[in-house]
Structure 1
Amino acid sequence: MPAMRRILFVIFLVAGVMYAVLHSNLWNTKSLGLSPLNRKLCIFKTNISSFMKLDDFYPFLCKTNFFDIAAIRGSNEFELPYGIKNAEFYFELALSKLENCELFQEDDSSPSCKRCIVVGNGGILRNKSLGQKIDSYDVIIRMNNGPVVGYEDDVGRRTTFRLFYPESVFSDPVHYDPNTTAVLVVFKPPDLKWLSDLLSGHSLSRTDVFWKKPPAKIIYKPDQIRILDPFITKRTAYELLHFPRKFPKREKPKHPTTGLIAIAFAFDVCSEVHVTGFKYNLQDQGSSLHYFGNDTMSLMIKNEYHDIVAEQRLLKELIDHQIVISLTEEQN
């Protein structure tokens, strides 16, 4: 009997320890903001659920577990922009400067089902007066340096998430929005060092590694900044665009645009995805590339880093199969 009591005591002790560990892990996960969108009660008006494997994927990296997440997703086997291999130190350095990795800035009482719109920077948005309609969405996702100030009638005023990389982030404080979460899309290790240096108050050591000199200051506060999991960029390239794993030696490797990465990101945080500003007239090199500025379509056509034709084909398929809804085309 004493032996049996000891065995039962050990069993209860182990069970108690396991409960404490699991409870602690769940609490830590919640405190880190690792609460993916709960779509179980969402009513889908689009076919996202049949198109994507909605596995409650969390889109941002957190300093406490990004090594483990990378191992689970296989990101430790890929170099940037599709993984963390050979850049682990820089990821760890940049993540240590961020104050949180929560999904949304609002509290947990906000509704789980999000109706979202991804606003592209295409010239098709000019004079469409879609600003009020865009602002009506739960979540508004923008990218790069597509301005809101001065273009409110056409593109709206609100921004929930803004995806960027160092060469494309705002430098003028006039564009600062305290309600925006700025999401760094990492393409190379210097992107992470740039972010770490700015948040540490250090001057930039080198800028020749960037195709355009990045800002020496960042307008967003540390608690507003997140780092996108490279797995999303990899998934966009391989699963959505079906890019080859290896390109011919004479051909430059192609990577997804920030806009398409933003749409893939939306699949993870939204229950319904609409898009606007993504339709380009590739046949007219003189047409406006963006709704702002004077750049023309000729710049996009000459771009060797992206496969614009493949992206436009994919977007058409997504719209035709009602995976996403094009707000711009609805207005034409």
Structure 2
Amino acid sequence: MVYTIPEVGTMSGLLTDDQRLETPLGKSDKKRRLRLLDYTAEPTWVFGEEYILQQGLSRQTNCSHSIKNKLAQNEWLRERFQPRITLFMDERHFNSSEWERLEPFPSPFGWMALNFSVVKEAVSLLPRVAKQDILAEGPRRQSQNCVTCAVVGNGGILNQSRMGQEIDSHDYVFRANAAITEGFQDDVGKRTSFYCFSGHTLLGSLENLEQNGYKPAIPQGEETKYIHLAETESDYEWITALSQNNEIRKGSLGLPGLRPRAYFGETFTMKKYLVLHPDFMRYIKARFFKSAKLRGPRWYLYRPSMGAILIMSALHLCDEVNAYGFMTDGYHNYSGHYYDRVKKPLVISTNHDFFLEQELWKTFHRENIIRLFQG
């Protein structure tokens, strides 16, 4: 079930009271705040696949081998892929009806158990995204017709790969987490068009880099834009502080006095900042990453990995996607990260399902939807 976003500035009335239908506990009680611990597994809602879609068709492309054109030949993907999904939030995407629609889903898939005022303030400060298809009018390096994208993970398979020049030859380069390039340009390239993170992963990656003797910094540059996954209430506090160039008021993320703007350089503006919409996150989870972990008591901790989010974002924005540094069948032959000074095993995070993601990348590669670098 889907619905379309009204014209700009008219976000009210998207759902009627009759559409707030049955919940696992019976009729929804809007006055009682929903709590994660009320459920022993992921709750199923009849409105769970109601998404904001963009008016009209997605970008038309003359690229003969575009992912969008391949949809018609692939029944499995055609049933799951929604090219008009809203990827990015802006100031139009918060009001009381949207709060009610998204409150039944835990962050980053919605706003369950978050503070109404914190979310409202943050979203209201986000600049409008004029076109969700943000690459439609961007530069081309390889072809006038095809938008080519490299999505670069941090896997040890990239060490000594000599893929750097190939990665940088794409129109756009997506990276996440540590994303260190200095000293590894020959293997991973040096360009970063989009850097994807949450407050937790950004700070954790910087701490990891420093502990391993590297300069703790995220990608910066004229080309670089940022994609933020708001996975906790702290991320919404981060967005507000970043927008206003202030310290985070509550000292969240374990660092009192944290000033987010300090990580992005002196030339940063909010025009370079994008925040993933909860609908996009819920959509990719429901249609591509439906893990068995959602059936357990810690269901609310599960989410696709940052690398998975990168690939899925690129699939909705690009004509051609090539993925480097992701988990393959031979992952145990490599260190967890390409920048590890000594070989370390891949850490299998409890809040991700890397093996589910690995099978999806293999399927995409086999069906010629992406090209997966396999060493």
TM-score, normalised relative to structure 1: 0.74
Give the root-mean-square deviation of aligned CA atoms: 3.8
Measure the CA separation in 2 of the matches of 1:106 and 1:152: 25
Paired amino acid for 1:122: G
Q: What does residue 120 of structure 2 align with?
A: 92
Select which of 176, 185, 208 maps to 1:143.
176
Paired amino acid for 1:218: Y
Measure the CA separation in 1 of the matches of 2:56 and 2:368: 27
Measure the CA separation in 1 of the matches of 2:356 and 2:342: 22
TM-score, normalised relative to structure 2: 0.67
Select which of 244, 262, 265 maps to 2:310.
262
State whether residues 168 and 214 of structure 1, in contact with CA within 8 Å, keep that contact through their aligned partners in structure 2: no
User: What aligned pairs does 1:301-312 form with structure 2 within 5 A after superposition?
Assistant: 301=348, 303-312=349-358
Q: Structure 1 residue 167: deviation in Å?
A: 2.4
Measure the CA separation in 2 of the matches of 1:234 and 1:169: 22
Measure the CA separation in 2 of the matches of 1:54 and 1:95: 24
Q: Which structure 2 segments of 5+ residues have no match?
A: 1-5, 11-53, 207-215
Secondary structure of 1:64's counterpart equals helix
Paired amino acid for 1:128: S
Secondary structure of 1:137's counterpart equals coil
Determine which structure has more spread, i.e. the larger CA radius of gyration. Answer: 1
Residues 1:163 and 1:174: Cα distance change in structure 2 (over 3 Å): closer
Q: State which drifts further: 238-247 or 137-146.
A: 238-247
Q: What does residue 337 of structure 2 align with?
A: 290
State whether residues 288 and 294 of structure 1, in contact with CA within 8 Å, keep that contact through their aligned partners in structure 2: no
Paired amino acid for 1:266: A
Paired amino acid for 2:182: V
Q: What does residue 21 of structure 1 align with?
A: none
Give me the identity figure in percent: 22
Q: What does residue 39 of structure 1 align with?
A: 60
Q: Structure 1 residue 83: deviation in Å?
A: 1.5
Matched, 1:192 2:192: no
Select which of 142, 149, 152 maps to 1:119.
152
Q: Structure 1 residue 296: deviation in Å?
A: 5.4
Matched, 1:55 2:101: no
Paired amino acid for 2:311: I
Measure the CA separation in 2 of the matches of 1:69 and 1:137: 41
The structure where helix makes up a greater share of residues is 1
Residues 1:178 and 1:95: Cα distance change in structure 2 (over 3 Å): farther
Select which of 201, 224, 232 maps to 2:245.
201
State whether residues 38 and 113 of structure 1, in contact with CA within 8 Å, keep that contact through their aligned partners in structure 2: no
Paired amino acid for 2:200: E
State whether residues 199 and 253 of structure 2, in contact with CA within 8 Å, keep that contact through their aligned partners in structure 1: no
Number of residue equivalences: 298
Measure the CA separation in 1 of the matches of 2:9 and 2:241: 32
